[in-house]
Chain A
Amino acid sequence: MTPNNSDITISCEAVVQLQNLCKSYFLGHSELPVLKGINLDFHRGEYVSIMGPSGSGKSTLLNLLGCLDRPTDGKYLLGGLDISEMDDDTLSGIRGKQIGFIFQSFNLIPQLNIIENIEVSLYYQQVHKVQRRKRAEELAERVGLGDRTKHRPSELSGGQQQRVAIARALANDPLILLADEPTGNLDSKSGREILGMLDELHAGGKTIIVVTHDPKVASRTQRSIHMLDGRIERQTLNGARQ
């Protein structure tokens, strides 16, 4: 979809490979390990949920998966490329092209309208203005907000804002979608809509990773990873869903 989407060529079935991934924070001289050796594979087109209590390290894992942070030790291969060795600018590029973020609090830019919010990541990939606008309009249409493109985020309901966020995450046709509690700030009706939309995307072949507390959300995914104390406690397959 995007002209220069070829930095990562998918060399294996596993889109994401985590090998003994460790992350520690340093407070003065004391080391505070948050992730203690994570080994995980996510496959192309998989719909996975990551669960666990606060402090279990799932947010840190999500930040690492989203290339917002670098591991202290171990390897993170995204589409076969080692992320842990990359410099800041390359990481920015990877985030823009290969990763779609969906946040709990939507994180739309308040002074931009809907179309412009969707365009942001395209803009940083230097997609031409005309193509950018065309793509953003398509996506707005796709999430059912084709008639609201000139509105500001503050003029939309929470569910609508999250739909804009999903459209934005899809703009560059990323390798993986990362959703952090996507329904956490929504009422149950809007939440169901959003989850329905994620199901649709999954059905369309997207790799989706959801971090959630909500077992109902987790139950819709194919596989749930339960974390505790920076380690993977167990994994369950939710094969019995509809």
Chain B
Amino acid sequence: MISLTQLTSVVQVSLRSLWLHRMRSILTMLGIIFGVSSVIAMLAIGEGASQQAQAQIAHLGSTNLILKTVKPPQQTANDTTQQSIAIYGLTYDDAERFRVTIPDAQVVVQSKIISHKAYYRNRILAIELVGTVAWYPELAPVELDRGRFLSSSDLHYNESVCVIDRNTADNLFLIDDPIDMDIKIAGNYYRVVGIVSETRVQSNEDMLETRANSAPDTTSAGGRVYIPITTMKTRFGETSIQFGGTTGLVGEKVELSEITVRVPTIERVLPTQDVLDGILKRFHKQQDYQIVVPLELLRQAIRTKRIFSIVLGSIAAISLLVGGIGIMNIMLATVSERTREIGIRRALGAKKQDIVFQFLSETLLLTLTGGLLGMVLGALIPIAVTYFGSMPTVITTQAMLLSFGISAGVGLTFGLYPAVKAANMDPIESLRHE
């Protein structure tokens, strides 16, 4: 239909008439620039947030099921007065039952977490004391830095040993080497045998329980100290008394804070969840536990991301639509302004399709240039967001191609009507046009 040399001259002519109205062209382009850049930026931010969420969830282990002790909903006033000590939460029996019921559950980690203070020389640090088992690192997001983790003999003999995390090592010991040093927790001394670093990104609790729950985040303020769970049981018992509540003192008896169960395959995760829930329902009178399934969270995150993308996409599409209408408006003005030129070209032998092509190429040049500039801007925005807002962003090639395709599509869609209108003008009328 059209040769390459013709194409280049059409483009040249278009460039010239766009250049003739530089200001107008730039303003028209702005609509597309912002439209395209917002598509890219939004997709990049959305993708970044989603990948971060997915990484965090995947970190918990997609074949893991995490059971947590939660405080049961407040009972009626009568109950509280009769029952001076609230007994709730997961028990050692629960862990045993899981082990028996689900034989192929690879590891069952029990742990109990209490808040405490650790002393070393004259320094004090608020810590989370975690009573756990020797195979804790296999399931939890921790990595051994130095020394060793708790061993089965530590557990067996209720040894007074502990493994501290990087935070504790830095804040409590400062420049001292913590290995083989003793720290004092609740009147007892524990020898440090190893240092672990938490590989978790920020805090998983933030992810899992939403930020609305503004419980004091002891993980980031202080550190974590791991001791054998058997030691913890003998030293601290299962009852803790705290000030608070309406009666002044509130007693709590909690055996285990957390049990982690790992199943061999992803397909087993959801059925296992039902089994665990069934077991717990039978032995727990109240809803004092919570089952966190990273896999389920992962699926939710993907679902959320899809909705997120649709919403962001719609907003970006609307801005592109507005940009496109702006372009059509300008092109219609251009066509009526250049009526005479169209008449002259028609008289000199231009076919209708030549006129269509000329105006379409102008619109396409506008939108594609705008699209390219928008891509540059759209790539810069996420970089700035990452830099200043410390939010991860991911610019995908798909997003780039999509937005470029969209800008070309907008050019074609909104350029066609003015171009056809120009081509269908009566040459005699156009020649007479002033």
Contact = CB atoms under 8 A, between A and B. Distances in A.
Contacts of A112: 13, 16
Interface in B1-49: 3, 5-6, 9, 13, 16-17, 20
Interface in A67-108: 68-69, 88-89, 92-93, 95-97, 101, 103, 107-108
A95 B20 contact: no
Given A68-B427, A68-B428, A128 B351 contact: no
B348 A95 contact: yes
Interface stretch (B67-75, B190-198, B338-346): B338-346
Interface in B348-384: 348-354
A89 B351 contact: yes
Contacts of A107: 340, 343-344, 347, 431
Contacts of A93: 349, 351
B354 A124 contact: yes
A168 B348 contact: yes
Contact of B347 (A68, A108, A110, A111): A68
A238 interface: no
A190 B350 CA distance: 30
Contact of B352 (A63, A89, A108, A128): A89
B6 A96 contact: no
Counting chain B residues whose Cβ lies within 8 A of the other chain, the interface size class is 20 to 34
**Overall SS of chain B's interface:** helix
A57 interface: no
Given A103-B431, A111-B16, A129-B5, A97 B349 contact: yes
A172 B350 CA distance: 13
A108 B340 CA distance: 10
Contacts of B346: 68, 92, 95
A96 B427 CA distance: 13
A126 interface: yes
A168 B340 CA distance: 17
A100 B323 CA distance: 42
B349 A121 contact: yes
Interface string A40-62: 00000000000000000000000
Nearest to A178: B347
A203 interface: no
A88 B351 contact: yes
Interface string A121-139: 1011110110000000000
B344 A109 contact: yes
Contact of B20 (A88, A111, A128): A111
B428 A63 contact: yes
Contacts of A123: 6, 9
A96 B5 contact: no
B6 A121 contact: no
Nearest to A119: B9
5 contacts: A89-B351, A95-B348, A111-B16, A111-B17, A124-B345
Given A68-B347, A120-B348, 8 more contacts: A68-B427, A68-B431, A88-B351, A96-B348, A107-B340, A107-B431, A121-B349, A129-B5
